[in-house]
Structure 1
Amino acid sequence: MAKEEGRKLVAQNRKARHDYHIEDTFEAGMVLQGTEVKSLRMGRASLVDGFVDIENHEAWLHGVHIPEYSQGTWTNHAARRKRKLLLNRVEIDRIERRVSEKGLTVVPLAIYFKDGRAKVEIALAKGKKSWDKRHALAERQATRETQQAVGRRLKGMGD
């Protein structure tokens, strides 16, 4: 079988960018069981309730739902088990320091395959207040309206 090349997106946490200010991102490998990899290759995963915790200088991914593999037998995995993340010691120390100092949290943004290996993109994030969310929505709406007005103007249509 030929080696896979490039990046194949499996799951994305769109709500994280809405609920948090993303400060820094990291790419981490995951320690997975065989049926988890097969389930991911089918494109099945949910990052909605996921978060990363640092325990004993190791990074662990909690709350990510990878459903059981449909053709699996007694070797199937638990859907919401905690999974170890593979990061460099320097990266783990940096994450641990910033989480304890600034009160940040670590959330998963995406799960994908990169050159045949399962990876997760995690981010140091700070929670948004409700008025921040409303402000971001209003700003996005304003830019959309200006882009539409510019497009109409270029096509020669009036307002």
Structure 2
Amino acid sequence: MSAHHRVKWPLTISEMRTQPSMVLTVPTIHEPTLAPKGKHMSLKFTADMLPTNSSVDRGARKRPNFLKSVLDTLDHFAPSFSDGVIHTQFLLPQDIEEQLNMPGGHINHGDMTIDQMFFKRPAAHYSDYRSPIKGLYQCGSSSHPGGGVSGVPGHNAAREIRRDLGRPSRR
């Protein structure tokens, strides 16, 4: 069974996974000016983050262990990957909450769970990209279909704006 299929959302800090699933991107492959010549930058995102309500310190004491788990997992699939790491910035949910003003540290502006998806995203009665304020539309990660870099929430909000302005949809 692949690591991706063994994913289990940790319920407590003590249940943190030792082989976290993650998405890895290397933007310097396409934009080398993001790093010094001959170097690369990689970004890792893992859904195996600590719950924001897991304890008083919300995981800060476990940061080094979790970072080691991430690097060990990368080394498993790309031997010696961590040997080339010059610098890390590791953001836990509370860091994301404090630095980026995202409640609970949710990069998707809320859990991507069945009770917050489709016609209930971001909340029941507001899934049509219109906010309670006339002329203000929602098109971020809190809108259907959620976060990522798809652009779909913006596309869908633009469609609704065109409808509200009485303009035909572009096809």
In the superposition, the TM-score normalised over structure 2's length comes to 0.28
Higher strand share: 1
Higher helix share: 2
In the superposition, the TM-score normalised over structure 1's length comes to 0.29
- Does 1 or 2 have the higher relative contact order (CA < 8 Å, sep 6+)? 1
